[in-house]
């Protein structure tokens, strides 16, 4: 036995972050922290599609294609996305996914979530789901090539999205865009409504 002792079993409730185990985009098991994060009872989530915590069907489909491609290739997936609570409130969430079945990565995966303190809507600006996705990737430090690969678009299309977003928001570079996204109070930058 090690100095740290022995762990015989670990349940999903022992995970301190909101956690859910999914199988082919259906929630099979979750901890109370996950249910609390989204404002549901655990019984309202188990056996249901992950669609119920996405802001819309397009985002659900788009993210599904991305995580499937990444899980099958890397067995691990990380991103930030806008999610929705049972009350209808949108919020930003950092998501980490890890397959639990190496031979069929999407058949069983563990997802850990963490709410991110970040405003959802911009003052006078309504970003599309694709634009929010691009901004989130830029804020994570991803290049246009990385974004194109993650999203399944051409590098030129990623560049065009990024350029249009920056022009619309009124920022000059990726650092300013990331600061805007984070709700930075830097002088001269547009601010998000909190």
Taking each helix axis from N to C terminus, what angle separates 129-139 and 174-181, rounded to the nearest 10 degrees?
110
**Rounded-to-integer distance, Cα 177 and Cα 165, Å:** 9
Please, are residues 36 and 19 in contact by the beta-carbon 8 Å criterion?
no
Give the tens place of pLDDT for each residue, 63-95: 888 888 878 877 778 888 889 999 999 888 889
Q: How far is the C-alpha of 85 from the C-alpha of 35, rounded, in Å?
A: 10
Q: What are phi and psi of 172, to 5 degrees?
A: -100, -20
What pLDDT score does 155 carry? 92
Query: Where in the chain are all domains bearing CATH 3.30.450.20?
Result: 16-116
Cβ atoms of 81 and 127 within 8 Å: the answer is: no
Q: Which ranges in 11-115 belong to alpha helices (H)? A: 32-38, 42-45, 57-74
98 and 75 Cβ atoms separated by less than 8 Å: yes
pLDDT, tens digit, 9 for 90 and up, residues 19-47:
999 999 999 999 999 999 999 999 999 99
Q: CATH 3.30.450.20: does it fit domain 16-116?
A: yes
Average pLDDT of the residues in 142-163:
88
Boundaries of CATH 1.10.10.10 in the chain?
129-181
Question: DSSP code of 105?
Answer: G
**Which pLDDT belongs to residue 5?**
46
pLDDT exceeds 60 at position 2: no
Class of domain 129-181: mainly alpha
Q: Which of the pair, 162 or 121, is modelled with greater confidence?
A: 162
Give all strands of the β-sheet with 109-116 in edge-to-edge order.
Answer: 26-30, 19-23, 109-116, 90-99, 76-84
Continuous segment of H or E residues that includes residue 150: helix 144-151
- How much is the pLDDT for 4? 43
């Amino acid at each position: 036995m090690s100095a740290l002792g022995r762990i015989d079993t670990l349940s999903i409730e022992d995970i301190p972050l909101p956690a859910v185990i999914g199988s082919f985009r259906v929630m099979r098991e979750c901890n109370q922290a996950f249910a609390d994060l989204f404002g549901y009872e655990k019984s309202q989530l188990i056996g249901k599609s992950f669609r119920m915590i996405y802001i819309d069907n397009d985002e659900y489909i788009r993210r599904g294609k991305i995580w499937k491609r990444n899980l099958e290739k890397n067995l691990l997936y990380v991103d930030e996305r806008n999610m929705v609570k049972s009350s209808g409130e949108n919020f930003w969430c950092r998501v980490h996914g890890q397959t639990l079945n190496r031979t069929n990565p999407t058949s069983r995966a563990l997802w850990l979530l963490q709410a991110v303190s970040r405003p959802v809507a911009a003052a006078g600006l309504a970003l599309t789901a694709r634009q929010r996705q691009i901004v989130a990737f830029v804020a994570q430090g991803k290049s246009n090539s990385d974004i194109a690969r993650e999203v399944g678009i051409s590098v030129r299309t990623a560049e065009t999205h990024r350029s249009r977003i920056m022009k619309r928001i009124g920022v000059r570079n990726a650092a300013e865009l990331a600061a805007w996204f984070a709700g930075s109070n830097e002088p001269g930058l547009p601010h998000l409504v909190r």
